[in-house]
Amino acid sequence: MRQVKKPEVRRAEIVDAAVRSFVERGYDQTTVESITGGLGVAKGCFYHYFSSKEQVFAAAVDAIAQRLCATYLALLQDDSRPPGARLLSYIDHSYALTERNEAPDLLAALHGDRFRDMHHRIVDRVADELRPALCTLLTAGVTQGEFRVPDPEFTAIALLGALRELHEVYAERPDLDLRAHRATLVDLLERMLGTALPHTDRQAEE
């Protein structure tokens, strides 16, 4: 007997399959058939939930953004570690994702003119979700005497803005030296926080 899945479960499966296809093939080479083929469902099932490839692309990008947010929030909110170590882990993870460049075709489509508005909406939403956690981390660092920051909220906004702009530049200039830029960013951040951030294995590699 064929299992009938709840609509939200089936939709999530289609989005997950779309994420895999977009990452592996890029936007242009992904088709509705490549998305549904791995699931063993008909195209009609796809069109029950999405009207077009563009619509499922938006859902796939949203799903990727949610996963990134969950990862970043876990790093920022890990109270078992001091604020400085958490902050550096967040920056390192952000740079590591850019360095790996695991889905260049997907990123190229997302940064192109066609999806520019959607890209900005997603980036804005991620920043909105991370800002309170980053502000809380900076405030904790001040309270614990690790940071000397007069305005944690402004500092959080400034840091998120800097990272956002850097990643926009990296998407257009893959030739840039990310490791050198990371070292410069950490140096600027230490000046902003009034403290030296903890040494990491990643720093030792540079």
Average pLDDT over residues 1-29: 85
Which residues lie closer than 8 Å to 106 by C-beta, 6 or more apart? 22, 23, 26, 27
Q: Give residue 201's pLDDT.
A: 43
Instruction: Determine the 3-state secondary structure of 38 from DSSP.
Output: coil
Residue 39, pLDDT > 70, answer yes
Residue 174, number of CB atoms within 10 A of its CB: 11
Residues of the chain with CATH 1.10.10.60: 7-51
Residue 100 CB-density burial (10 A; 0-12 exposed, 13-18 middle, 19+ buried)? exposed
| Residue 43 confidence (pLDDT) above 80 | yes
Find the range with the poorest average confidence among 4-18, 30-44, 98-112, 130-144: 98-112
pLDDT digits (tens, 9 = 90+) for 125-144: 889 999 999 999 999 999 99
Architecture of domain 7-51: Orthogonal Bundle (1.10)
CB atoms within 10 A of CB 83: 23
Average pLDDT over residues 182-195: 91
Specify the pTM.
Answer: 0.80
Instruction: Average the pLDDT over 37-66 and give the result.
Output: 91
What pLDDT score does 97 carry?
A: 76
* CATH of the domain spanning 55-193, picked from 1.10.10.10, 3.40.47.10, 2.30.110.10, 1.10.357.10: 1.10.357.10
Question: Which has more confidence, 98 or 59?
Answer: 59
Residue 5 vs residue 205, higher pLDDT = 5
Q: How far is residue 201's CA from residue 205's CA, in Å, rounded to a whole number? A: 6
Q: What pLDDT sits at residue 146? A: 95
Range(s) of the chain covered by CATH 1.10.357.10 = 55-193
Task: Over range 44-49, report the average pLDDT.
Answer: 94
The pLDDT of residue 47 is above 90: yes
* Mean pLDDT for the chain overall: 86
